[in-house]
Amino acid sequence: MGSRRWAPVALVSASVASTFAARGNGPFAGETGVTLWIHRNSPGPVDRIGDVLEPLFNDLAAPTMFAATCLFVWWRWGLRAIAVLGLAGALTGLTRVGDLVQRPRPTASGSWSSYAYGNGGYPSGHVVFVALISGTLAILARRHGSAATATWVAVVGVTLTVVTSWTRVSHLEHWPLDVVGGLTMAGAALYGVAAFDHRLDNLMARRRRSGA
């Protein structure tokens, strides 16, 4: 119970620390070396999977993917699940913090460059979207689906998150700190989504009683 209480606090603290670190005028200590190592040593099959996933979760395609996911969730689990997924969708707006941090993406050679408005690297929007939406689907599958379905959804979600996190760096689209920031923000947001899901039945019951 204690670990559950402190985990969201730790994730929020890590998000804040990562954000302050990302505001520095240059890569974080060791970040360039890690970025180039991942870029040069990334397994080919993993990079090819990343090539397929990348266009599905960019700024143009992500809203369509989210809408399709909402329709599927509505069909399978109803409006209650849509309310939970809708909150997760709203929380993907955490990526807008990038315009405040103003951290540039790595260049094609893995070096530092100047920031271009609207093209900030911190946090990784792909990572936030994939981790937050797949995590929410795992929460919903655990509540509404069978044990086998919940396990399958969780495994697929973790796999997508790991591959996306790795390939955002290996493709030189993001620095490692961008990915860390995206993961900690999504993790903290997921605790909020889980809390909302846990309390939603009580909220709906109170609303019905007040309307009766």
Cα–Cα distance for residue pair 65/67, rounded to 1 Å:
6
Cβ atoms 66, 130 nearer than 8 A? no
Cβ atoms 181, 123 nearer than 8 A? yes
Cα–Cα distance for residue pair 147/48, rounded to 1 Å:
31
For residue 113, the model assigns a pLDDT of 85
Whole domain around residue 98: which residue ranges?
2-211
Full-model pTM: 0.90
And the tokens for 74?
């509505």
Cα angle: 207, vertex 210, 212; to 5 degrees: 105
- Number of folded domains that form the chain: 1
What is the tens place of the pLDDT at every residue in 54-90?
A: 999 988 899 999 999 999 999 999 999 999 999 999 9
Would you put residue 3 in left (φ > 0), alpha (ψ -120 to 50) or beta? alpha
